[in-house]
Amino acid sequence: MYSIKRHIEAIVEQRAKNSKAIMLTGPRQVGKSTLFKHLFGTVNQVTFDDDLLLAQAEDDMNLFLLNNPCPLMIDEIQKCPAIFNKLKITLDNTDTYGNFYLTGSQKLQLMEGVSESLAGRVSVVELEGLSLREIYTVPFTKHFIPTENYLKEREGAIRNYREKLWETIHRGSYPELYSNTDKEWVDFYQSYVKTYLERDVNKLIKAKNHLTFVKFLTCVAARTGQVVNYSNISSEIGVSEVTVKDWISILEKSGLIYILKPYTSSALSRAIKTPKIYFRDTGLCCYLTRWLTPDTLKNGAMAGAMFETFVINEILKSYSNEGLEYDFNVFYYNGKDKKKRKENGEEIEVDGEIDLILQEDGILYPIEIKMSATPKADMASEFDVLDGIPDKKRGMGTIICLYDRKMYLRENLVALPLEYI
């Protein structure tokens, strides 16, 4: 059933018209095959979840393509790496567009195959879970960047997210949980872990046993929003640091986590160069860390980290849903020096950190993410560290928070409700 319009639809249709092949990547269950079937339902369709078809493709690719002629949709193509070279030959011998519609859930194997065989021959589009804009049918598709022009345009399509915010954070972004409202949250994620993560991801990770794999997933989920500490994870689950790095890389390339890189510059000599880790779906993260209701999450120890994770993901989705790459546009900053700040009347020491930095057209936009309804200018005390970077300008600073309206705290600093993403 196709019930929620995806903002990436127009991009996918345009790319398909102008490419010999198009590939839709993303984690399991985000709606890749559903979207393709909705847009291109008349083409031939096969899936490599079918062992018989997979075996035929591996044994005799020519026979497989004879039985399944173009235009052809192939689901879970990463299960048959041998197909990429044959696709290359097929595409090199045709001038026709729209030959293959490919989906895959494991970027690791998928992108290796593309880079070796299909570079320049296939258009790759990333599909993520549902965004707030999609859930609330907001007709606005530009990526988040806190310029005056963006804010003016965005104000014309505001919806109130806050009323059910924690229910949405807890539910997560998998389309089935919204198209089938009778679906039990625990049942969905229990099945997701057993059916997809333990079968597909653990096949790549090759953990020595089921318990080690689940412990690793839970360990990473509990650290969402934190600087990656490989040694700490290694000690907790009893495997080497090298193994932890390999496993985290597999989670990233499977679309389950995002590694946010630190912003580096010769002018930032005190910057920590270790990345941060974010789970891509807050519902899955809640399930793995056993926050079983929205209320316990909202009032629990991980509320701030989960809110930050949710906001980061919403910003990333605004880029990918516009068909934009964002890996070289989003960063964070963490200095080695502690900063003093007043909170609830008391002076406390905090890390000199900027939660997110967006880079566009030579301008750096610093962003703080606060689970607060009372934003203050001193929450942005670290933003001026960006002023000393050569060849870069500092743009509008932003505090994304739970205040109910836009409010300028300084001429170059604005507090924004979540609704402005």
Residue-by-residue DSSP string for 61-118:
HHHHHHHSPSSEEEESGGG-TTHHHHHHHHHHT---S--EEEEES-HHHHHHHIIIII
* pLDDT tens string 190-207: 999 998 888 788 778 877
Q: Are residues 392 and 271 in the same domain?
A: yes
Q: Are residues 173 and 31 in the same domain?
A: no
Residue 2 within any structural domain of the chain: no
pLDDT above 70: percentage of residues in the chain: 91
Position 344 pLDDT exceeds 60? no
- Flag whether the pTM goes above 0.85: yes
Q: Are residues 179 and 211 in the same domain?
A: yes
Mean pLDDT estimate for the chain: 90
Q: How many structural domains does the chain have?
A: 2
**Shortest CA distance to 382 belongs to which of 397, 392, 396?**
397
Q: Are residues 136 and 122 in the same domain?
A: no
Residue 302 within any structural domain of the chain: yes
Q: Which of 100, 126, 152 is the last residue of a domain?
A: 126
Q: Are residues 170 and 38 in the same domain?
A: no
Position 111 pLDDT exceeds 70? no
Q: What is the pLDDT of residue 178?
A: 94
Residue 1 within any structural domain of the chain: no
Range of the domain at 357: 132-420
Q: What is the pLDDT of residue 108?
A: 46
Q: Are residues 114 and 140 in the same domain?
A: no
> When comparing pLDDT for 357 and 201, which is higher?
357
Q: Are residues 60 and 141 in the same domain?
A: no
Q: Are residues 86 and 105 in the same domain?
A: yes
Q: Are residues 121 and 162 in the same domain?
A: no
Among the ranges given (216-225, 250-259, 364-373, 394-403), the one the predictor scored with the smallest mean pLDDT: 250-259
Position 78 pLDDT exceeds 90? no
Q: Are residues 22 and 152 in the same domain?
A: no
Q: What is the pLDDT of residue 207?
A: 73
Q: What is the pLDDT of residue 388?
A: 84
Q: What is the pLDDT of residue 135?
A: 96
Q: What is the pLDDT of residue 205?
A: 80
Q: 15 CB contacts (<8 Å, ≥6 apart)? A: 22, 123, 125, 323
Residue 318 near residue 356 (C-beta atoms within 8 A): no
Position 149 pLDDT exceeds 80? yes
Residue 166 within any structural domain of the chain: yes
Position 143 pLDDT exceeds 70? yes
Residue 3 within any structural domain of the chain: no
Q: Are residues 159 and 63 in the same domain?
A: no
Q: Which of 83, 99, 126 is the last residue of a domain?
A: 126
Q: Where are the alpha helices (DSSP H) in 140-256?
A: 148-154, 165-171, 176-179, 185-192, 202-205, 210-221, 230-237, 241-253
Residue 4 within any structural domain of the chain: no
Q: Are residues 84 and 152 in the same domain?
A: no
Q: Which of 126, 147, 169 is the last residue of a domain?
A: 126
Position 340 pLDDT exceeds 70? no
Residue 118 within any structural domain of the chain: yes
* pLDDT tens string 221-268: 999 999 999 999 999 999 999 999 999 998 998 899 999 999 987 556
Position 279 pLDDT exceeds 70? yes
Residue 217 within any structural domain of the chain: yes
